[in-house]
Amino acid sequence: MSQSFAKKTFKSVKGKAQKALHRSLDQHVKLAVTGLSGSGKTAFISALVKHLTSQANDNNLPFFDVMREHRHIATKIVPQEALNVPTFDYNRAISALLPSEGDPAWPASTERINTLRLAIKYQSNAGLRGHFSPQSTLYLDIIDYPGEWLLDLPMLAQSFEQWCEQQYPLLSQTPRNQSSAEFLQSIEQLDLDAPVDENALADIAKCYQTMLVGLKKDTKLAMLQPGRMLMPGDLQGAPLLLFFPISPEKISDDVVAGSNLAHLIKRFDAYVKEVVKPFYNEHFRHFDRQIVLVDVLSALNEGYETLAEQSRVINQLLSHFSYGDSGFFKRLFKPNIDKILFAANKSDHISAKHHKDLALLLDSLVKEQSNHLKFDGVKIETLAMSSIAATVSRQVVDKGQTLDCIYGKPLNEQQWLTYLPPQPPSRMLNKSEWPAHGFEFLSFAPMPSPDQQLKHIRLDHVMQYLLGDKLT
């Protein structure tokens, strides 16, 4: 055995031992920030970092024990462990939210996997850590990824036929039927048993991609696959993306070799194997905690079908993470997610007295998977929050009646508005119960902040639930 090899082996063993010690002493937490496109992941991460690094006090975060007990010393961004993954661009996000001049804007959506590591230094008051040292450091790894890519995880458990059985019927349903006519016509004209025609398949795939991109732009539909057609990244133009759903009735057991159908199946299988599976293996293992951000209000705006689809997708996605009780030895050798927080984001878009209704609605949307997770020993909490509050509460007296309104600047508008938002339902409504006039919740631009401070609603509750037990 060469000396250099021995040194490398020793360093590797030493590194693994240090990681194991950190995990055993709860000094390292990996947080999965999960959410569909537009759920507010980038804003959440930006707010979390801002409040921990430069707004860390008990007045701002009163329900975060380490702050209320004045045990937080300091938090800073430190170099991340994953050197092959881009760093979350915190400075760019904050510059958008708190510009030195001009109007604030929401930061750009996530277009790639990125990560960020925070070192949280605090005073220990109990347990093994407190025995060895009065000061400890918790390393928090935050992993962020495009919501569009998240949509592909269910494909791991599907064949091409099963995928078509799920996707194809949706094309004739509201609201997809308004934009799917051209694509459906093109696949009707395709001879699936004919020798493969690369150009024809590419043209139809482009038509399908155009439809998906349009649906993403104009709706809040959750089940838009494959996700890389919406956010290709380095796969832009790759043959891997040139597939699409067809009628399951046209998929026979005897697939003609070298046919259009055989080629579609081959591309689907390759996409799952070369794109979805590595994404899952590299970025969906070894999480400790998870927050699932959900934009319930936007789905309510679009109607029953969109909200129901959002519920199905969330429940489906959650089945692909590793969950379970995470004791001492499990944290060393097989870490699982032992706590999940379902957060109905953008609660500042409704009056405070209806926040409970919003939380109850989200609870009803995820109850199917929540029951399974609770059985496995996972702790679950649901709440309404706003990582960045874009409105303020106002009371207006109208005809002797006091109305709980909100005040802010609607997105893409110039005038500020005092607005009486509707009340969200406290559970998932049946289609027959859906109000004829629907729901109309406004979206708001971030508020200017002369003091360069961000305001939040229950972000301290979120921190306490996800990290409080690690900072004792």
d(CA 293, CA 39) in angstroms, rounded, equals 6
In 10 A of CB 323, how many CB atoms? Answer: 22
Count the Cβ atoms, other than its own, within 10 Å of residue 112: 13
Classify residue 63 as exposed, middle or buried by CB count within 10 Å of its CB (0-12, 13-18, 19+).
Answer: middle
State the DSSP code for 193: T
Q: Are the C-beta atoms of residues 267 and 240 closer than 8 Å to each other? A: yes
pLDDT for res 35: 87
- Strand-pair partners of 117: 78, 141
The class of domain 16-150+281-389+451-470 in CATH terms is alpha beta
CB atoms within 10 A of CB 10: 10
Structure confidence at residue 331 (pLDDT): 42
Q: Going residue by residue through the chain (472 aa), what tens digit of pLDDT does each one get?
A: 555 655 555 555 555 555 554 444 558 999 999 888 889 999 999 999 999 999 999 999 999 999 999 999 999 999 988 888 889 999 999 999 999 999 999 999 888 889 999 999 999 876 555 555 679 999 999 988 888 888 898 899 899 999 999 999 999 998 999 999 999 999 999 999 999 999 999 999 999 999 999 999 999 998 999 999 998 878 888 889 999 999 999 998 889 999 999 999 999 999 999 999 998 888 776 789 999 999 999 999 999 999 999 999 988 887 777 666 544 434 444 557 889 999 999 999 999 999 999 999 999 999 888 888 888 888 899 999 999 999 999 999 988 899 999 999 999 999 999 999 999 999 999 999 999 999 999 999 999 999 999 999 999 999 999 999 999 9
How far is residue 472's CA from residue 470's CA, in Å, rounded to a whole number? 6
CA–CA dist 4, 441 (Å, integer): 64
- Domain spans in the chain, listed from the N-terminal domain onward: 16-150+281-389+451-470, 153-278
Alpha-carbon gap, residue 130 to 127, rounded angstroms: 6
Cα gap 146→114, rounded to integer Å:
9
pTM, to two decimals: 0.87
Sheet strand arrangement including 289-294: 72-78, 114-123, 135-144, 28-35, 289-294, 339-344, 379-384
Asked if 469 contacts 450 with a C-beta cutoff of 8 angstroms, the reply is no
Q: Which of 46, 137, 37, 121 lies closest to 88, judged by CA?
A: 46
* 319 residue type, one letter: S
d(CA 56, CA 52) in angstroms, rounded, equals 5
